[in-house]
Structure 1
């Protein structure tokens, strides 16, 4: 079941991992079955920044994750690694983020006419930069998918996985998306940016192969997004408030998970915005919201998805931001989510077996 037996002969899964390698595992991209594509990008974030540092922070924190999974046999042998961080992409992010931030501050001041000429072209500039990033993600994902690899994406903000989903749409006739998120992200554009982190779900729905969009944990939604979620028959919204009301009324999380999964087709793409979880698990994320799923609720839902026989064709984990004080908690949580969903994806694809 391993990606390359010779690469793991001398590896001790109970000992120290290899520094600089994802989860300390002894794999390189060429002998891995599942690759993580890091995308350090947060140009359109509208509140707190920091998510561009997520991939590097999770890579560093990942070596502290114990590799044993009690319900998945030899999970660490999958062959899991991260592609190198792209310094040019990070540099572009930093430059365009400064420009976007100045523009957003101008909007927040009421768009003073005196600076109109200075900022008029900014949306087009930022949109072009985001399209370039998106095209790069598509290109990188297609390269790995063409080699038969599974691909997961690590953001960055929630605008980053669009290119991966577009690449998967070229490989699959139809699939559903399970989105874990505090926000609906169904705005056609936000602050003039049509590839905004606040528009990712809207942009998912532009892809003809996306058969269903099932959103779980949403608790911050504007009227425009609500109306779209109710009028588009491909959308099903499980708000955090409604889920909690049912739990408080005596329903079980297992029963609610079955209802969520019933809305999904056989092939599923998983999109996890970390702010879909309770803020205690992601205190430095860009736009935290009270409420949300706890860690085990999320893991139970995804495990049930795989147990149901559905196949995970890809995934992303986004909006993980390291603390400005150097705190590692957000990255610690993110690393554990990443390891678990990578292994569950592999089980759904028959590349690992239940224990």
Structure 2
């Protein structure tokens, strides 16, 4: 990134004249009783931040003065206010303030109409006006993002455009400003903030959990999140789900990347904290494992938000061991923990074909509904009342379809049967995980490609936001 301070050192130092003090007094007169939407922070703090950014990025005193007053005409009297500014501070300042105002009419036209007119105006606005606009929008976008992270999705209700309109406006602003090829370092900063807002607004967030330390037999599932993403980006696959939803054209989801487990914080603590942060923003989570032990902290966070869950668990194994090899957090034990903690109002397991006596006792104790492969006819939709969580262990599929797993078990589900279960699921899907692909057992990449397919269909099902498919 350009070194702004180095760039400034090449310019002769310029102080501020008493006109700037006059501008501060004028801004105080117009805005001293205003506060920022929803926060109660004095509105003058925004004007000072915009003026400071203008000065830090090469603007002269007139431009900084106009930055202090860029909202005065629009918010405080229209043409009459513009003439006061012209009289007190000069024609150039008044012209810049006018250029930064999206409407002088009273009553104002509808919000969308005003914003579209302002976007068109940016195509011919001066470099100085664009500097003020960039400083204004950067500070606004940063404030919105910080408020969302602190307070949650109710922040969108402060804005006339709501969530979708606000995102549209900031994306459109960015596109117009990129086309002007001015102030590129600030345009890049705005671009990063627009992407941050998009992620914070996502209805579904994908979270990679590359962890396999609780695997009982073979390591390798920690590599799966990266391999699934590689398969998605390969030239052999597009991002359109079978329902017709084009994920590459849909801004309702975001990929938060992978968690790192190099620090001292435990996997359980880190995953639960990360998922809780996602859910606080009002969305749902799709976790990419990793071994099946990651399901415990994900379900804990989702249940803390939604209450006890209906869980649909697709797996060759029931994963109900009280402890496997002495490890209560083994990938063979997640649903024992979930049931003991009261996180499941109903647990339905499909695809099971390895139930032993020890796990059967746990299933009977908690009333688990086990649709084992020797009894399930492979037809019929599953219906749930209330929030639903889907946990899909890829070894639920027959090894003919999914050879790249740590514990292959013949006699499993077909790809089409799994897709019918996902797309036929009736209920409000509030979270999901996709686990136990082992790339070290998948030299051809066929299981990673299957994982990418399952990822697309699960994500599309979550985005459809329907009780019924």
**Do both share a fold (TM > 0.5)?**
yes
Out of 183, 191, 203, the position equivalent to 2:317 is 183
Q: Are 1:83 and 2:263 an aligned pair?
A: no
* Aligned residue number for residue 21 of structure 1: none
1:247-269: CA deviations, max 9, x gaps?
4xxxxx43xx34xx25x433210
Alpha-carbon spacing, 1:190–1:72, altered in 2? closer, same or farther (3 Å)? same
How far off is 1:301 after superposition? Answer: 1.4
Choose the corresponding residue for 1:205, options 332, 339, 358.
339
What corresponds to 1:173 in structure 2?
307
Equivalent in the alignment of 1:274: 394
> Shift in Å at residue 283 of structure 1?
1.1
List alignment gaps of at least 5 residues for structure 2.
Answer: 1-162, 176-194
Q: Equivalent residues in 2 for 1:244-323 (5 A)?
A: 247=377, 253-254=378-379, 257-258=380-381, 261-262=382-383, 264-305=384-425, 308=426, 310-323=427-440
Distance 1:217 1:48 in 2: 21
Structure 1 distance, partners of 2:400, 2:164, is 36
The CA deviation string for residues 168-223 of structure 1, in whole angstroms up to 9 with x for no partner, is 11111332100000001000101111111000111111232410110000001221
Alignment of 1:51-200 (within 5 A): 51-64=221-234, 65-76=237-248, 77-87=250-260, 89=261, 91=262, 132-200=266-334
Q: CA deviation at 1:69?
A: 3.2
Q: Indicate the residue corresponding to 1:338 in structure 2.
A: 455
Look up the match of 2:99. none
Give the greater-gyration-radius structure (CA): 2
2:375 corresponds in structure 1 to: 242
Aligned counterparts of 2:242 and 2:334: Cα–Cα separation in 1: 35
- Structure 2 partner of 1:34: 204
Aligned 8 A contact 2:351 2:412 in 1 = yes
Q: Distance in 2 between matches of 1:278 and 1:328?
A: 16
State the alpha-carbon separation in 2 of the partners of residues 197 and 295 from structure 1.
23
Higher relative contact order (CA 8 A, sep 6+): 1
Deviation at 1:241, TM superposition (A): 1.3
Q: Does the C-alpha gap of structure 1 residues 344 and 2 become closer, same or farther in structure 2, counting only changes over 3 Å?
A: farther
Q: Does the CA-based 8 Å contact 1:39-1:55 persist in structure 2?
A: yes
Tell me the C-alpha RMSD between the 2 structures. 2.8
Report the TM-score when normalising by structure 2.
Answer: 0.55
SS in 2 for 1:191: coil
Partner Cα separation in structure 2 for residue 180 and residue 222 of structure 1: 17
Aligned match of 1:106:
none
Change (3 A) 1:324 1:175: closer
Give the distance between the partners of 1:196 and 1:212, measured in 2 at CA. 22
SS of corresponding position for 2:305 = coil
Name the TM-score, length of structure 1 as normaliser: 0.72
